[in-house]
């Protein structure tokens, strides 16, 4: 569970980025954070990843007090989160496979596990045939899927996506969110920041609106159990890889994502 308690952030230049934020996000929730540019959305995420510290207030993630984390603990804390960037942040000289493997290698995962896990994640995002390609040979949508795969590969409890569709063709944006949606339905908390209200409207998910550093509206928690059926009726599961996914342990606390043919 993620909890912001009376959190404010004032930057060095006296910019009040966030003011008295109170927000609670349950495990396995999907939350859109919307708001215009400068509303404080990115700041909220930076506080969550401990890139910035709040000027006042408390941030609790899974009963861990984020603000008081020691330097050495921060990297381990970040392994519980997968971050998706607006600009993809792929390494151009590495293949798609290596881009995803990179996240495992730099956290000390043995190569044997890397070789097992990466193809599986590639399949999950529908890029199983494109592992050898370089990012430049991919479309924007595909690149973001690589970014997503990299965020997922270490099996984080939470995916944090800052405008993941910002550099993606609007027609393909839907696909990215749909993929995030699926990942969420498999049991991963998803926090997605966006300013594209139209995109948000197409998904029946919780929406938190920020304006001038304050929360101006929050639809509150949306029952995702009911939603699972709905979603599957409305849109077929992500099928780019022509596989049917079975959601396992959707209601348990396990973070394992499993796929069957």
Partner 1 sequence: MKTGSMRYLIKEGFNNIRGNFSISLSSVVILICCLFLTGVVVVISAISNQALRVVEAQNKITVYLNSDIPESDALLIGSKIQEISNVSECNFCSKEKTMEKFSYVVPADVFDLLEGHNPVEPSFGVSMKDLSKYDETSNELKGIEGVESITDCAEWAKKLTHFNNAFSYVKICIIVMVILVSLFIISNTIRVTMYSRRREISIMKSVGATNLFIRVPFIVEGIVIGLIAAICASGALKIAFELLLRMIKDLAPVVSIFEGPTWSLYSAFIGMGMLCGVLGGTFSIARYLRTEGGEVFG
Ligand X SMILES: Nc1ncnc2c1ncn2[C@@H]1O[C@H](COP(=O)(O)OP(=O)(O)O)[C@@H](O)[C@H]1O
Residues forming contacts to Mg ion in the complex (CB under 5 A) are 42
| ∠ Cα 60 146 227 (to 5°) | 55
Which x/- pattern over 43-82 shows residues binding ligand X (rule: CB under 6 A)?
x---------------------------------------
Distance (Å, whole) CA 67 – CA 136: 38
* CA distances from residue 90 to 84, 87, 193, 212, 213 in whole angstroms, order as listed: 11, 8, 20, 31, 30
Applying CB under 8 A, among 162, 182, 209, 231 the residue interacting with partner 1 is: 162
203 within 8 A of 177, measured Cβ to Cβ: yes
Distance (Å, whole) CA 26 – CA 54: 21
Applying CB under 8 A, among 5, 49, 55, 255 the residue interacting with partner 1 is: 49
φ/ψ of 190, rounded to 5, equals -125, 130
| 25 CB neighbour count, 10 Å cutoff | 22
209 within 8 A of 34, measured Cβ to Cβ: yes
Contact partner, 132, from partner 1, ligand X, Mg ion, none, Cβ < 5-8 Å per class: none
| Beta-sheet strand order (sheet of 158-162) | 81-84, 158-162, 189-194, 30-34, 206-211, 214-218
Residues 5-44 that bind ligand X (CB under 6 A): 11, 13, 15, 17, 35, 37-43
**Nearest-approach distance from CB 132 to ligand X, in angstroms:** 35
**Nearest-approach distance from CB 142 to partner 1, in angstroms:** 18
**Nearest-approach distance from CB 194 to ligand X, in angstroms:** 10
Which x/- pattern over 69-108 shows residues binding partner 1 (rule: CB under 8 A)?
--xx-xxxxxxxxxx-x---x-x----------xx-xxxx
| 133 CB neighbour count, 10 Å cutoff | 15
Which residues contact partner 1 (rule: CB under 8 A)?
42, 45-46, 49, 51, 71-72, 74-83, 85, 89, 91, 102-103, 105-108, 110-111, 150-151, 154, 162
- Which residue ranges make up the site for ligand X (CB under 6 A)? 11, 13, 15, 17, 35, 37-43
């Amino acid at each position: 569970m993620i909890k912001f308690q009376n959190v404010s952030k004032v930057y060095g230049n006296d910019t009040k980025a966030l003011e008295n934020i109170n927000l609670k996000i349950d495990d396995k929730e999907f939350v859109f954070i919307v708001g215009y540019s400068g509303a404080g959305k990115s700041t909220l995420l930076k506080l969550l990843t401990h890139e910035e510290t709040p000027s006042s207030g408390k941030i609790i993630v899974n009963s861990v007090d984020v603000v008081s984390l020691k330097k050495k603990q921060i990297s381990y804390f970040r392994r519980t989160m997968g971050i998706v960037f607006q600009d993809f942040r792929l390494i151009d000289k590495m293949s798609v496979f290596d881009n995803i493997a990179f996240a495992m290698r730099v956290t000390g995962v043995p190569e044997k596990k890397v070789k097992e896990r990466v193809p599986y994640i590639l399949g999950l995002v529908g890029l199983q045939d494109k592992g050898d390609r370089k990012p430049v040979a991919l479309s924007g949508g595909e690149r973001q899927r690589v970014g997503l795969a990299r965020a997922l590969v270490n099996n984080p409890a939470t995916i944090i996506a800052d405008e993941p569709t910002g550099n993606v063709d609007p027609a393909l944006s839907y696909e990215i969110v749909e993929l995030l949606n699926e990942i969420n339905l498999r049991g991963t908390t998803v926090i997605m920041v966006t300013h594209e209200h139209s995109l948000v409207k197409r998904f029946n998910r919780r929406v938190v609106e920020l304006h001038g550093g304050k929360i101006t509206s929050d639809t509150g928690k949306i029952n995702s159990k009911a939603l699972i059926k709905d979603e599957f009726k409305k849109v077929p599961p992500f099928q780019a890889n022509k596989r049917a996914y079975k959601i396992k342990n959707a209601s348990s606390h396990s973070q394992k994502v499993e796929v069957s043919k």
